[in-house]
Amino acid sequence: MITEPEWHLDYPPRLLEALARLAKSQPRGMWISGGAVRDLLLNRSCRDLDVTVAEGGVACAGRLAREMGGAFVLLDAAEDVGRVVWQGITVDCAAFREKAVTIEEDLAKRDFTINALAVPFDPARPELVRAGGMIDPTGGLRDLRQGLVRSTSSAVFGNDPLRLLRAYRFMATLGFDLDPATEEQIRDHGALLPEAAAERLSHELTLLMGSGRGAAILERMAAGTILWRVFPELQEGVGMAQPASHHLDVFSHGLAALRAMEEIQLRPEQWFPARGPAMETYLAGAGRQLRLRWAALFHDLGKPATFRRRGEGEGRITFYNHDQAGASLFEAIAARLRWSREDTVRISRFIALHMWPFHLNNALKRTKLTPRACLRLAKAINDDLPGLFLLAMADSLAGRGPKRPVDMERAIFDLYREVMQVYSERIEPVLERPRLLTGHDLIRECGLKPGPLFSRILDGLEQAAVEGDVADREEALRWVGRFLEEQGAA
């Protein structure tokens, strides 16, 4: 790392030529800076560029946007920062910040040393970056070599509280450690974090959780107390005892489930033999891996609110309806962080239904799996049926108490395999074909008026079709007649 004398910039020649013309118009110079330099030194692909000029950052962005035919975005008029988006590439043009008069002063005012790096942009050779011209006033090169996230000063957190979270995000995405003095600064300034805009917090959390190191980083954030500033609800589970099937308190169990989910997503075939490719296809869907990671972390969010001890003395610990309570608590978190409606609904549904596979597995000890039971489950979770079993597997792996059921992971897989077999053979053919009867049929053929009874009839018909009791329109009409007689509505 950081041994090459020069690097080639992997950007379209047209963009580099436009930047060269822009650089020629800057009498005090133009620099590539910040994250673009950091990623270049780390040999990480980067489609974004940070360009610094002495003054006129917004004007430079406007000029570049007009010349390239890109979109212009005013990021910060007060700080003189503008953005150009062109063919999937983002170029941020910024003037020296906070009244700095040199590039060195500007870099020293940035958040972390690994982002406080710059190289002069040479209009004569715009495709090249030369290591010999590196500007490093805060020791960023040293910290890159050591894999360390270190603040340029304690003042950076007061200037922008979001940096309290960004430090851990860089740990996650770069695989770095956090400088102990910086972590102490974060602890001291933690109360400022709620001042950051919810949308900005959500963006950092998405990058952090998407790194695949979410469990390790959130555990570090909890040790540094900053996690409770983001998710105070999680702190209520710290030290909360659980039944003997668990070996961890409620909070640590959630972290363990997240860690298990990260591992399962890397190798689903290890826990779902012969179903690995299907699971990989499911996980490739947009947003699914991230939603499942959040669901794993929050799946027992409702336990503190539903904690009870039954009987005398220490008593038996119960968390009745913690799944429903947790779903409601999560929805409040999602609203606070301005998460999308789709993410909120799907993650909340995972939390609300996460006990269903375990309840179904217990029922199978007394009776066989019925098409009706599979249909109810499939309709409750919709297209996230594989995800619900991935969540159940992560939950099971995170519980290692002395009274944990033997070979629980095998039982979850066997149940999933059986559910999917019933689904493909009995349920999917019914759900994919047109309904045997519609609401219009109930009005025209049966003389019924629209109302709540319609849903009961149509759902009952669907169930009867799945169970093989109804196969065509005539049988469906006869079924409706019998149903109405039984209900006294004929």
Rounded distance between C-alpha atoms, residue 375 and residue 481, angstroms? 23
In angstroms, what CA-CA distances link 217 with 171, 337, 470?
7, 19, 54
Rounded distance between C-alpha atoms, residue 413 and residue 355, angstroms? 15
Residues 299 and 397 in one domain: yes
Query: Helix, strand, or coil here: 126?
Result: coil
pLDDT-derived band of residue 132, with 50, 70 and 90 as boundaries? Answer: confident
Highest mean pLDDT among 312-321, 340-349, 440-449: 340-349
Task: Please report whether residue 235 resides in a domain.
Answer: no
pLDDT for 263: 98
CATH number at residue 205: 1.10.110.30
Cβ contacts of residue 76 below 8 Å, gap of 6+? none
Query: Cβ distance 465 to 486 under 8 Å?
Result: no
Residues 322 and 468 in one domain: no
Stated pTM of the model: 0.93
Residues 204 and 55 in one domain: no
Residues 4 and 67 in one domain: yes
452-484 pLDDT, tens digit per residue, is 999 999 999 999 999 999 999 999 999 999 999
Q: Is the pLDDT of residue 69 over 70?
A: yes
pLDDT-derived band of residue 489, with 50, 70 and 90 as boundaries? Answer: low
Classify 99 in phi/psi space as left (phi over 0), alpha (psi -120 to 50) or beta: left
Give strand ranges (E) for 307-433: 308-310, 316-318
Long-range contact set of residues 427-433: C-beta below 8 Å, sequence gap at least 24:
427/371, 427/374, 427/375, 427/378, 427/466, 430/462, 430/465, 430/466, 431/378, 431/462
Q: Is the pLDDT of residue 313 over 90?
A: no
pLDDT for 45: 82
From 130, 146, 162, give the residue that closes a domain. 146
Query: Cβ distance 292 to 299 under 8 Å?
Result: no
From 174, 209, 230, give the residue that closes a domain. 230
Phi, psi of 79 (to 5 degrees): -95, 0
pLDDT for 5: 67
Task: Please report whether residue 386 resides in a domain.
Answer: yes
Query: Cβ distance 114 to 82 under 8 Å?
Result: no
Across 131-145, 292-306, 308-322, least confident range? 308-322
Residues 25 and 115 in one domain: yes
Q: DSSP labels for 138-171?
A: T-HHHHHHHTEE-BS-THHHHH-TTHHHHHHHHH
Number of domains in the chain: 4
Task: Please report whether residue 63 resides in a domain.
Answer: yes
Rounded distance between C-alpha atoms, residue 85 and residue 69, angstroms? 9
Could you identify the residue written with the tokens 């005398």? 312
Range of the domain at 357: 262-425
Task: Please report whether residue 255 resides in a domain.
Answer: no
Q: Is the pLDDT of residue 133 over 90?
A: no
19-34 pLDDT, tens digit per residue, is 999 999 999 999 999 9
Residues 344 and 365 in one domain: yes
Residues 403 and 450 in one domain: no
Short-list 441, 436, 472, CA closest to 454 = 441
Residues 8 and 136 in one domain: yes
Task: Please report whether residue 30 resides in a domain.
Answer: yes
- Give me the chain's average pLDDT, please: 94
Residues 196 and 273 in one domain: no
Q: Is the pLDDT of residue 4 over 70?
A: no
CATH number at residue 17: 3.30.460.10
Mean pLDDT of 220-237: 97
From 111, 146, 181, give the residue that closes a domain. 146
Residues 139 and 156 in one domain: no
Task: Please report whether residue 430 resides in a domain.
Answer: no
Rounded distance between C-alpha atoms, residue 284 and residue 269, angstroms? 14
Mean pLDDT of 441-446: 93
Q: Is the pLDDT of residue 406 over 90?
A: no
pLDDT for 51: 97
Residue 296 DSSP code:
H
Residues 270 and 417 in one domain: yes
In angstroms, what CA-CA distances link 162 with 8, 91, 205?
33, 22, 11
More confident residue, 315 or 290: 290
Query: Cβ distance 317 to 308 under 8 Å?
Result: yes
Task: Please report whether residue 250 resides in a domain.
Answer: no
Residues 32 and 155 in one domain: no
pLDDT-derived band of residue 404, with 50, 70 and 90 as boundaries? Answer: confident
Task: Please report whether residue 349 resides in a domain.
Answer: yes
